[in-house]
Amino acid sequence: MSVEQVERFGAHNYHPLPVTLVRGEGVWVWDDHGRRYLDMLSSYSALNHGHRHPKIVEAMKAQLDRVTLTSRAFHNDQLGPFLQKLSEISGFSRALPMNSGAEAVETGLKAVRKWGYKVKGVPKDKAEIIVVTDNFHGRTITIISYSTETQYRDGFGPFTPGFVVVPYGDAAAIEAAITPNTVAVHVEPIQGEAGVVEPPVGYLRALRQICDRHNVLLFLDEIQTGLGRTGKMWAFQHEDIRPDCIAVGKALGGGLYPVSAFCADDALMAMFTPGDHGSTFGGNPLAAAVGLAALQVLEEEGLAEQAALRGALFRQRLEALKSPKVKEVRGKGLLIGVELFVEAGPARGYCLELMKRGVLCKDTHGQVIRFAPPLVITDEEIELAMAAVAEVLT
């Protein structure tokens, strides 16, 4: 009955696979008929810790019995420890908590614009932020204003000005687009929604150097790539650089609760004074308790290192298939995209076949199957998934 109710009373803004999930544990989920599936999507990387990680569940239950919401009109005893741990793990001196990833991105956009006016001296309302093709940072009006995906924009204008779009992976194009009014360059280290698209090696390093030369901030979206997903805590660490600020979300909530944040150092975070920005639920004690537990588990269980090891195995096994349907296997850690040739047909059909074999994943951009299992997956579970993948792709 649930599916019929969703169809009848909900907006038709998603096209889910025809399975109704009722329980989850670790890398496994069960449907309403009792059938078990391997979750190879992790709710788009929000479940890095797996479903219902015991330590995070325990932290949430304990906080539910104390206090869940205070608003930022008052202090709560959970926010401080959470912010300190996030600052230690991110490497930035301060964090501003929000709820959704899109809110964290919007927070960053406001911060870099205000920095442009107050510090760099850009004329009022002339700030420009350089972004890239095929980006995905969320679905607010401002964020879709710089999307290059037609569907994300169709019918939602007029759009927010102030964004300059250049090709992804082309550092020279970014430098050529910089003007005296440029305040930031804003990119994903790896484009997830676009189909797990990696830029050329050295791209982020080049952007760091370009931004330094021109007094421009480097703002990275680590919402999907951060918190261990790519085999390091942050994807920017693969090129040994440090951006000026990051947006983080998804796995920050441990798969239990929406938690996001904008992270930056003192000078940039000082752009916000009381009344400039906020959120009723951002930084609430329940979110802070969950976020702190999620960060602790990432460290204690070495989940970034696990992602590197398991990701190498998974990618090796995928490449060894030598399937004539597969155009390319790409990604880092446990963020992997398998692009199919157009002649092989749309990726959704393969996702449906994998579902029948007990493996859940999702297509993106027509021809790409995205695999992003929880970072707690074992070698044995990867081999179980590969048995189904091999059957479907060969």
Catalytic residue numbers, as ranges: 136, 221, 250
CB 82 within 8 A of CB 330: no
Q: Is 120 exposed, middle or buried, given 0-12, 13-18 or 19+ CB atoms closer than 10 A?
A: middle
- Give the burial class of 128: count Cβ atoms within 10 A of its Cβ; 0-12 exposed, 13-18 middle, 19 or more buried: buried
Helix H or strand E encompassing 36: strand 36-39
Cβ neighbours around 155 below 10 Å, total = 5
| CA angle, residues 217, 200, 360, in degrees to nearest 5 | 100
In order of 84, 98, 248, 258, 376, the CA distances from 95 in angstroms are 8, 10, 10, 16, 27
Tell which residue, 200, 201, 211, has the closest CA to residue 243: 211
CA atoms of 188 and 43, how far apart (whole Å): 18
For residue 336, the one-letter residue type is I
